Chain A
Amino acid sequence: MTFEAFREYIAKTVHTESKLIQKETSLCEDLGVDSLQLVNLLVEISEFFQVELGQIQSNEDLQTVGNLYQLFGGIDYEQSV
């Protein structure tokens, strides 16, 4: 799962342009994702990319697109951003 594919998927789900999504983009404040949408996103990402969700320790893990990517074990994070 590349970061590009990851942000494309999020953009499609929340009806926004993928170019507006960066690693620092806040899911709640910038993309308007509410808490239940976020859970839906976690489940859908997990199913679509066949990846397991890591341990959520705090709200910070779910704050930005980059943090969410890392939570799913995004491996080419540094290279692809």
Chain B
Amino acid sequence: MSNLYKWLMEKEVDENKVLLTTQSGSFTFKNITDEVDQYSEVLNETGSVTRKRFALIVPNVLSYMSLSLAISRLNGVIIPISPMLRKEDLTSILSFINPHFIFSIEQHNGIPFSEIIHEWAKEERKETVIFTSGNSVDWNCEKISGEKRLDEQNEKLDMIGCTSGSTGVPKGIMAGQEFVEFAARALREMVSMKEQDQFFLMAPVSGLFGLCWLLTAFQNRNHITITESFHFPDMMDLMRKSQANKLITSPSLYKAVYLLDQSREEKALKKIEFVSLAGENISLDFIESVAQVKDCTLTSGYGLSEIGAMMYTEKDIRNGIEWTLVPDVEYKLEKEEGAGELHFKTKCGFMGYYGNVQLDKEVYHDGWFNTGDLAQLTPEQKIMIVGRKKDMIKKGGQQVIPGEVEKVLCQHPSVHQAVVVGVPHKIYGEKIVAFMTAEKELSFIDITSFCSEKIARFKVPDEFYQLDEIPLIQGKVDKVTLRQRASEYVK
């Protein structure tokens, strides 16, 4: 039994207390632990689970949560994977994490996950146990034979959060019990968590942020409602039925719900008195669009999947953004033309990128993690985020790595060179703009369809421009000029 599992289960609770609500129903502590027992039994039947890696593509939150707890109980490593991925980004992550076990939905949003996974496992020629299900409840098991995969050596590793890497190689963020406990303390602080609070999470639990929220609420024995569908009417129906008083989401999702709420008499946001926004910068446009929200405090949190939540705003962001550091977090700024790169140090530190020591060295020195964000101090010595040094785009709270999209665009037979940038957008937070060069005139309809088959829909560029040549500065792509051009074109 892992220390993470012990920590999650140690707090006493009335076992009939409802702790989780989704579109599939409401579940008590007992419902959840019964499911955990059942999954533990299934896993035990497969042999030793200790230090085995489990890839989970499970949109049903109760099943996903119970499976995660069962894997943790048996000392396995949890690796959540987004069900929004397509063939190329999914198989690239699977090859990278090298899972012993895969639990996956058969198909989701028309994508045949089961077929893609079986094909991948057969090509890998490594032993893989694949569980598939049409409803994330009844599972079929198939063992693909082949070379045995090595067990995980790092005993403190409990989970790996996967994202697409900038060089085409995925990135796995390692996390253990210490990280989850640290994240939980920070999240509790950020939302002033009280025993009677009920939360509504509008963020995917397949990311480390969403998973930490799910585990934090469960460990604290607070009722959390989590949407399994990201279609707005579904999310908003669930919110109307929910008694949640605190909402956790991204600025773009909150703004979208707020806009859609205007067209309904029964408001989804009616009972929400506190909102914690994360995943994107708060823009002036956002502040203006939510100026009329009444009887609700809007706050924001800042953090990174690698090191957790670092700062939060205690006061309503509409009165100005003033960051407060999470307890046991230190910061420093490395100057660079007025603004400096923002670094953080925490008691728990950074466990590292999975199988990529070189990348660890690039971002983590002497306990300091380089966020890649640029910040400066106000005259009152408060931190103000002013930009980002890294290329990463944040669209609707989801991270999009330009390098991954550029790689796919360049695979198109007509595209010669491709550069992808993010520009501010009133609904998405940032939108994806692609600049390409080619010998002949490109069909953006054709390129959209080409990308949609390979990568998750949210990563497909929103705007395309064909250029005669990509601007360079000192031999490198001049992204600053391209961002300016993109902003002008978008206007």
Contacts and interface: CB of A to CB of B under 8 A. Distances in A.
A37 B460 CA distance: 11
Nearest to A36: B396
B444 interface: yes
A17 B256 CA distance: 27
Contacts of B427: 36, 39-40, 43
B444 A53 contact: no
Interface in A49-69: 53-59, 61-62
Contact of A38 (B232, B448, B460): B232
B264 A55 contact: yes
B445 interface: yes
B260 interface: yes
A55 B427 CA distance: 20
B464 A36 contact: no
Interface residues of B, number: 31
A62 B428 contact: no
A39 B252 CA distance: 10
B445 A36 contact: no
Contact of A43 (B230, B231, B395, B426): B426
A28 B109 contact: yes
Nearest to B255: A39
A28 to B, nearest CB: 7
Contacts of B232: 35, 38-39, 56, 62
Interface in B341-378: none
Contacts of B285: none
Contact of A36 (B256, B447, B448): B256
B464 A15 contact: yes
Nearest to A52: B263
Contact of B233 (A32, A54, A62): A62
A62 B445 contact: no
Given A15-B464, A61-B233, A32 B263 contact: no
Nearest to A43: B427
Interface of B: 109-110, 230-234, 252-253, 256, 259-260, 263-265, 395-396, 425-428, 444-445, 447-449, 452, 457-458, 460, 464
5 contacts: A29-B110, A36-B256, A36-B396, A39-B260, A43-B259
Interface of A: 14-17, 28-29, 32, 34-40, 42-43, 53-59, 61-62
The 5 closest A-B pairs by CB, nearest first: A15-B448, A39-B256, A40-B427, A36-B396, A59-B233
